[in-house]
């Protein structure tokens, strides 16, 4: 398969799949009560766990070619 379709599996595609699998691990559907419960507890809603981590990841922005100062690639990042 790789010989027939070599461009399908590039390092760039692998990077994108990594971030997609990360986001899918947090994919959920919450009821209104579940959202309120999470809000009042110490857990952050899943969507904010994903966006918060990815917004601060320069490699994510590079892999998906996010423009600077866009929602998922803000110019001000929290880097560790």
Q: What is the pLDDT of residues 7-35, one digit of tens each?
A: 666 677 889 999 999 999 999 888 998 88
| pLDDT band (50, 70, 90) for residue 43 | confident
Q: Would the pTM of this model clear 0.95, i.e. be above it?
A: no
Q: Are 11 and 18 in contact (CB under 8 A)?
A: no
Rounded distance between C-alpha atoms, residue 45 and residue 29, angstroms: 10
Q: Are 54 and 19 in contact (CB under 8 A)?
A: yes
Q: Are 46 and 22 in contact (CB under 8 A)?
A: no
Q: For residue 5, what is the DSSP state? A: S
Tokens, residue 67: 């423009």
Res 68 pLDDT > 70: yes
């Amino acid at each position: 398969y790789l010989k027939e379709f070599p461009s399908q599996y590039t390092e760039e595609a692998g990077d994108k799949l990594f971030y997609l699998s990360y986001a899918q691990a947090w994919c959920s559907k919450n009821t209104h009560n579940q959202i309120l419960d999470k809000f009042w507890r110490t857990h952050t809603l899943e969507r904010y766990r994903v966006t918060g981590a990815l917004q601060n990841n320069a490699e994510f922005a590079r892999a998906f070619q996010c423009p600077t100062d866009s929602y998922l690639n803000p110019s001000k990042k929290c880097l560790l």
